[in-house]
Amino acid sequence: MVSGISTAGLGLPDYQRALLQHATYIEALQACGLQVTVLPADEDFPDSTFVEDAAVLTPACAIIARPGAASRKPEAELIAPVIDQFYTRIHAIEAPGTLEGGDIMMVGQYFYIGLSERTNRAGADQLIGILNRYGMQGSVVELADVLHLKTGLGYLENNKLLATGEFLAEPEFQQYKLLPVDPHEAYAANSVWINGTVLTPMGFPKTRTQIELAGYKVLEVDVSEFQKLDGGLSCLSLRF
């Protein structure tokens, strides 16, 4: 994973530390009541620890993604047999579409799709078409500064949305109770609601307090080594 794509400028991840953090992350998911399937590492794909990007999982069906990053494209084939164990209705994004799961934010039956360097219009259109077949809807949000949509957004259910930077003024997010994340803590916008608890990255006290004041129990998880690879908390798992 130390060879993963990175623009963070935070230096190389410490592999041993990353392994410990990954184990603690799994424990945090379990503490929230989830059953966790841990996949074997694939040394050929240094970014494959960010499994969230390889698929989109909805209550009705699964969609195998088609990563926009060239080095990550084969991750879709790697995740497919795993998804097969859990879903019967499985679709796939096809060329020329590209789509990475980090660009998809689920709000009930509605899916926001970030148009980014990784997810293109064709990929978004295909996803919307699949969602529509199951009575779900989706729409696109153009990204300016961030890697993925969920780099700067975290939906905490109950109509509450953690948001930072470019997303704060986005008209379609004004219908939510926005919890603005301090620009110095932007990384913590990628927090995850699981069964009433919010998992948030360690070391972002303002955001933690804000989430607590919004009425949630908070569990901090140290993912500093994954931050060095531009990866957030949500990217390390596929939750369904």
**Dist. CA 137–CA 118, nearest whole Å:** 21
**Nearest distance from C-beta of residue 148 to ligand CIR, angstroms:** 4
Q: Which is nearer to ligand CIR, 51 or 130 (CB)?
A: 51
Q: What angle do CA 201, 214, 193 make, to 5 degrees?
A: 45
**Dist. CA 116–CA 138, nearest whole Å:** 16
Q: Which is nearer to ligand CIR, 151 or 200 (CB)?
A: 151
Residue from 25, 45, 50, 187 binding ligand CIR (CB under 6 A) = 50
Question: What stretch of H or E contains 92?
Answer: strand 90-92
Residue from 13, 29, 45, 52 binding ligand CIR (CB under 6 A) = 52
> What is residue 215's three-state secondary structure?
coil
Question: What stretch of H or E contains 25?
Answer: helix 15-31
Inter-residue contact 214 to 156 (CB < 8 Å): yes
x/- letters, 2..41, toward ligand CIR (CB under 6 A): --xxx-----------------------------------
Handedness of CA 231, 233, 237, 239 (dihedral sign): negative
**Dist. CA 180–CA 208, nearest whole Å:** 12
Q: Which is nearer to ligand CIR, 201 or 231 (CB)?
A: 231
x/- letters, 90..109, toward ligand CIR (CB under 6 A): ------------x-------
Structure-block tokens of residue 93: 């994004």
x/- letters, 65..84, toward ligand CIR (CB under 6 A): ----x--x------------
Residue from 193, 230, 233, 237 binding ligand CIR (CB under 6 A) = 230
Judged by CB under 6 A, which stretch of 27-35, 46-54, 55-63, 210-218 contacts ligand CIR?
Answer: 46-54
Structure-block tokens of residue 179: 């919890």
Residue from 229, 233, 237, 238 binding ligand CIR (CB under 6 A) = 229
Task: Please state, as a whole number, how many other Cβ atoms lie within 10 Å of the Cβ of residue 84.
Answer: 12
**List of residues contacting ligand CIR (CB under 6 A):** 4-6, 47, 50, 52-53, 69, 72, 102, 147-148, 151, 229-232, 235
